[in-house]
């Protein structure tokens, strides 16, 4: 008798690199003041990365440029992008989805209340000062390094 449907599917899927993460079991790792993250996935091949961000009320991401497109899903909370809806930007709340094009600039992304969002970027983000000088480049490598250092620090603290 031939393979069962389950056996065929198992054989076909072996080695494809599916990822499952119990995010509730993963620690929050500090990213910047008031912002923590859980690294979900990075891709050396494409430069894409996915994270959960947990942002305290009043925290913000500094001025930055997207060097690749990104998208987010608001799990909880409220976030203002480019000054929020009152200033011509976006005010995103729980359940909202957003797409940010390659080349998009954000002067300040603020969190009005504690916020959790799922975020995927398809390449790096360049953080800049007020004169647009590069301060840091956030890419899949940096996230891997920060996550590894954060886990190591948490293990030593335990």
For the chain, the structural domain boundaries read: 26-157
pLDDT per residue over 105-116, tens digit each? 998 899 999 999
Q: For residues 151 and 129, which has the higher predicted lDDT (pLDDT)?
A: 129
Task: State how far the Cα of 17 lies from the Cα of 94, in Å rounded to an integer.
Answer: 31
Q: Is residue 139 a contact partner of residue 124, using CB atoms and an 8 Å limit?
A: yes
pLDDT classification of 10: cutoffs 50, 70, 90:
confident
pLDDT per residue over 75-112, tens digit each? 999 999 998 999 989 999 999 999 999 999 998 899 99
- Which of the following CATH numbers is that of domain 26-157: 3.40.50.2000, 2.60.120.10, 3.40.50.1980, 3.40.50.150? 2.60.120.10
Pairing state between β 35-42 and 49-55: antiparallel
Task: State how far the Cα of 149 lies from the Cα of 153, in Å rounded to an integer.
Answer: 6
């Amino acid at each position: 008798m031939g393979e069962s449907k389950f056996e065929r599917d198992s054989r076909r899927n072996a080695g494809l690199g599916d990822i499952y993460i119990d995010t509730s079991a993963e620690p929050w790792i500090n990213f910047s003041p008031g912002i923590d993250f859980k690294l979900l996935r990075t891709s050396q091949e494409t430069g894409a990365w996915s994270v959960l961000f947990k942002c305290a009320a009043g925290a913000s991401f500094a001025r930055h440029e997207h060097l690749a497109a990104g998208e987010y899903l608001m799990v909880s909370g409220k976030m203002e992008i480019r000054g929020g809806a009152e200033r011509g930007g976006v005010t995103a709340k729980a359940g909202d989805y957003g797409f940010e094009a390659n080349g998009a600039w954000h002067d300040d992304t603020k969190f009005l209340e504690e916020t959790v969002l799922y975020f995927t970027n398809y390449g790096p983000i360049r953080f800049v000062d007020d004169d647009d000088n590069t301060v840091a480049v956030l890419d899949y490598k940096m996230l891997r390094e920060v996550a590894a250092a954060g886990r190591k620090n948490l293990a030593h603290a335990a």
